[in-house]
Amino acid sequence: MSCQNHSLKPWNTFSLEASAAGICVADSVEALCRAWLQSQQRSEPVLLLGEGSNVLFLEDFQGQVIVNRIMGIEVTESSDAWHLHVGSGENWHALVQSTLRDGYPGLENLAMIPGCAGSAPIQNIGAYGVELEKVCEYVDIVRLADGSRQRLSAEECRFAYRDSVFKHQYREGYALIALGLRLNKIWQPVLTYGELRELDRDRVTPQQVFETVCRMRSSKLPDPAVTGNAGSFFKNPLVSAEMARQLKEQYDTIPFYPQENGEMKLAAGWLIDRCNLKGFRMGGAAVHQQQALVLINTGNATGQDVVALAREVRQRVGKKFNVWLEPEVRFISAQGETDAVEVIA
């Protein structure tokens, strides 16, 4: 465990200037629990962080940030699958690359998603037709107060669209420490999304899917190393079939995606775009030109600039479509996570 200086700028992909009372990098479960207990003893707030690619710091954080760097990847084989046990601090995209290099395909649609492997189950990361739940076998967690460990099956994780048990029952007082993945030996490409549809199912290789996904992502999503952002700022809203029908009557090009439970998922980016908000700025925060669902830091944004912009975007979309967007990004105030919808309502 090492303690660093206290600027959070290198630890959040929005590149916002904020500070913490302390920052510790924990490379083992024991170090993580120790750091957490120290904070408890000092009665200070504590925040676990992977790579900070899904957080918005609203202001300086008054407690200790524990950065998870629990590493290690072990591969075992069964008759029909490869099984990976992955330390929660491993970088997700590097993991995707290494599985392809070593001949275990199945993660290629999830290429280039920033963050740690252990953060992936929290919002059930998803892109280009695949969600983590498709390949997740289990998640290991630790109860920070006493170091006791528990393995949750994929079913127990209660995965849903950008949701899991880790945002509810296990949100406080627990850390994800490892991720178990199951990659089937018989590879079936998922070619349902965008340019992937143009690939030939019978000839395509995992590497080609990977490259196509990387190309599509690079054309729309800003690279956080260049422009601060946290990916999609809002979730795509779920509405009733009746509401979707009414919207379709008014806006015949509106995209929507039927869900298994009968609801319809709308494209928040399309709704924001139809409010002519691409490029719209408030302070140092702006709506990204190539993808309206992404809010960016143009250089010197504050957390409050991003909040003001998010509020304005939510109002404009709400007034035009009567659809009220909810942030996907987790809002962190001085004392810890705070209700993002309440902040921008």
Sign of the CA dihedral running 132, 297, 311, 64: positive
Is residue 47 near ligand FAD by the rule CB under 6 A? yes
Residue 162 annotated in active site: yes
Q: CB of 219: closest distance to ligand EPU in angstroms?
A: 10
Of 156, 315, 330, 343, the one binding ligand FAD (CB under 6 A) is: 330
Question: Among residues 39, 53, 119, 232, which one is catalytic?
Answer: 232
Is residue 66 near ligand EPU by the rule CB under 6 A? no
Of 44, 273, 326, 337, the one binding ligand EPU (CB under 6 A) is: 273
Tell me the two tokens of residue 109: 């649609």
Is residue 292 near ligand EPU by the rule CB under 6 A? yes
Cα 96 to Cα 179: distance, rounded to the nearest angstrom: 13
Pick 51 or 108: Cβ nearer ligand FAD: 51
Pick 189 or 231: Cβ nearer ligand FAD: 231
Pick 29 or 307: Cβ nearer ligand EPU: 307
Give, in degrees to the nearest 5, the angle at Cα 281 between 280 and 285: 125
C-beta separation of 103 from 206 below 8 A: no
Residue 274 annotated in active site: no
Pick 23 or 243: Cβ nearer ligand FAD: 23
Pick 1 or 267: Cβ nearer ligand EPU: 267
Is residue 140 near ligand EPU by the rule CB under 6 A? no
Is residue 316 near ligand EPU by the rule CB under 6 A? no
Pick 293 or 309: Cβ nearer ligand EPU: 293
Cα 45 to Cα 252: distance, rounded to the nearest angstrom: 49
Residue type, 219: S
Question: Among residues 51, 131, 263, 328, which one is catalytic?
Answer: 328
Is residue 340 near ligand EPU by the rule CB under 6 A? no
Cα 166 to Cα 77: distance, rounded to the nearest angstrom: 28
Of 165, 293, 313, 344, the one binding ligand EPU (CB under 6 A) is: 293
Backbone angles phi, psi at 125, to 5 degrees: -50, 145
Is residue 115 near ligand FAD by the rule CB under 6 A? yes
Which one of 34-42, 139-147, 269-277, 318-326 is the stretch in contact with ligand EPU (CB under 6 A)?
Answer: 269-277
Residue 155 annotated in active site: no
Is residue 232 near ligand EPU by the rule CB under 6 A? yes
Cα 12 to Cα 71: distance, rounded to the nearest angstrom: 20
Is residue 291 near ligand EPU by the rule CB under 6 A? yes
Backbone angles phi, psi at 22, to 5 degrees: -165, 150
68 binds, among ligand FAD, ligand EPU, none (CB under 5 to 8 A by kind): ligand FAD
Question: Among residues 69, 162, 314, 316, which one is catalytic?
Answer: 162
Residue ranges binding ligand EPU (CB under 6 A): 127-128, 193, 220, 231-232, 235-236, 255, 267, 269-270, 273, 291-293, 328
Q: Which residue ranges make up the site for ligand FAD (CB under 6 A)?
A: 13, 47-55, 68, 88, 113-116, 118-120, 122-123, 125-127, 175-176, 221, 224, 229-231, 330, 337
